[in-house]
Structure formats: C-alpha cells, structure tokens
Amino acid sequence: MIKKKYFLFTFFILLFLLITNTKTVKADSSINDYIIDNQIQPAKIQSQEGTFGVWQGYRYGVGQPEGIVVHETSENNVTAQQFTDRFNSEWRQKQTYVHAFVDNNQILNIHNTDYIVWGAGPTANSRFIQVELCRVNTYDEFAHSLSNDAYYIASKLIQYNLPDVPGQTVFSHKQTSDLWHETKHQDPDYYFSTWGYDMNQFNDLILSYYDNLKSYNNVYNPNDHVINVRNSNGAYVPLVSLNDDGSVSSISNRALANNTPWYTDKKQTVNGVLYHRVATNEWVADSYKY
C-alpha cells in the first residue's frame, strides 16, 4: 500500500513538472527563412477601385476596422487581376466581395478599406478588412505571394493604428468560421498545408514585417544582414570556400580583420557548421560572429 501511494505521488509530481515546464515552441519555417534570407521585396500596393457599390462603415464607424481576415481563393491558376475582374462582374450575383487580391506578382486593393465588404459572414464583415491570397505553383512563387500578403496585412494594421495580435487583429477565415459559425470556409489552412506551412508561421512573417515597417519603414531590418566578426584566438578571422562536392577549403591569401562588420547575403550549413557568405565563394564560420 505504501509503495502504491509512493508511486502515485511520484507520478503526479512528474506530471506537474512536465506541465509547468512545457514551453510553446515557435513554428519552424524554411519558407520564412527563404523569404528573409533572400530579402524578397513585396510588390507595391495598387489601388484599383472596383464596382462594389456598398459604402457602409464598420460597426464602430467608417475607417474603424478592427483587424484583418486572411482568405485563400481555393482555385488554381487564377491571378489576382483575373480574380479582380471576375469579382467586379459577378459580385451582385454571388453576393461576395473582398478588399484585396494578392498573388506572387501583385497586390490589388479593390475596395476602400474604410468600408466593409462581404467575405466572411456578417460579424466578421462588420469588423475586418479582408484579403484573398491566390494559389501559385512553385516554391518561389509561394514565397513571393506570402511576402506580398504579409506586407499588405502589416501595412493595413499600421495604417489603422492596430496592434498585430493573432486571433485578435489577424484571423484566418477558418478562425472566423469556427468562432461565429456564419460560414463554413476553412481557408487558408489546407492550402498552406500543401506547402508544409501554417497560420502560426504566417503570423511570424506578418509580425516580422510589422515590426520592421514601424521601426525602419522597410519589411527588413537593414542590420539583419550585417555580422561583426572576431577571432579570440588569432589576429584575423579566417575565410573558407565551399566546394560543389560538399567539402570546405581554407583560403590562404585573404582574411577578415578582427572586430569588423561585414555584409552577408547567404547562409549555408556544411558538416554541421553554419557559414555566412561575405563575398563570392568566401565564407566565414558562425563561430566567429559576435
């Protein structure tokens, strides 16, 4: 009996420790890394006022949106411009409209975001700006479309002096469907999953753009690609070249001075070592960064 009580006591102590030490792990995203490492620049937001003739303010008035709903078109091989043209001709019959369409090349704002649209049910319509992400076919196109979408969302949050808070000012259409049950749409979750992506990762990208736009008026921190290097055990920082066969070669006739900043445009891991490129096939190991 004593052993049984001891076992139960130990079990609950371990369970308590497990729960209290659980940490929320940020979603890992190679696509976000690809966007940031390649400094993908979003397209400019183009205004193409459409034919949607409803000029109704949000529940708190004209120019008072409370956030943004992220949609996905669920149709392959249709561009932002093609969707815009379609919506402009069909919204009366379909009784639906959004503020913007985004693909890998364009950001088209088609209705003044001071006024509501019809895209996610009455409750969400009365609160939120709404943007549709178009489907694309390649990894690079997907990355560019995400960059454009995140830029549009971050820009609109800033325009209306809104914080970036997932689930409060940024919603997926799925989240609004689950919350108010006025639509049954589940986008963009499924489409994101086909690229190994999800809303958590997209929210990370939006937040990065939001913070940088507020701080630097650019989606990228200008210091993100500058590293300072120092060799604590020598007079200079050695450089290497990365070969096509996966090997690493020392560079004997060039090195970096200690305590100097260098612009780097690419990262690569070879044999478990992370390297930063500072010139054409001239790389410095991450261990020298400070």
Whole-angstrom distance, CA of residue 152 vs CA of residue 133: 11
Whole-angstrom distance, CA of residue 259 vs CA of residue 261: 7
* Confidence band of 17 (pLDDT split at 50, 70, 90): very low
pLDDT for the residue numbered 288 = 97
pLDDT for the residue numbered 15 = 41
Report whether 57 contacts 64 (CB < 8 A): yes
In this predicted model, which residue has the larger pLDDT, 54 or 4? Answer: 54
> CB neighbours of 185 closer than 8 A, spacing ≥ 6?
71, 120, 173, 174, 177
Lowest-confidence region among 42-56, 68-82, 117-131, 251-265: 251-265
pLDDT for the residue numbered 125 = 98
Report whether 106 contacts 79 (CB < 8 A): yes
User: What is the chain's Cα-based Rg?
Assistant: 24
* Confidence band of 246 (pLDDT split at 50, 70, 90): very high
Per-residue pLDDT of 136-180, as tens digits, reads 999 999 999 999 999 999 999 999 999 999 999 999 999 999 999
pLDDT for the residue numbered 90 = 98
Give the distance, in angstroms, between the CA of residue 256 and the centroid of all CA atoms in the same chain: 34
Q: In b/e form, how buried is each residue of 32-64, taking b as 16+ CB within 10 angstroms?
A: bebbbbeebebbebeebebebeeeeebeeeeee
Beta bridge partners of 289: 229
Report whether 195 contacts 142 (CB < 8 A): yes
Peptide bond into 261 cis (omega under 30): no
> CB neighbours of 150 closer than 8 A, spacing ≥ 6?
42, 202, 205, 206, 208, 209, 219
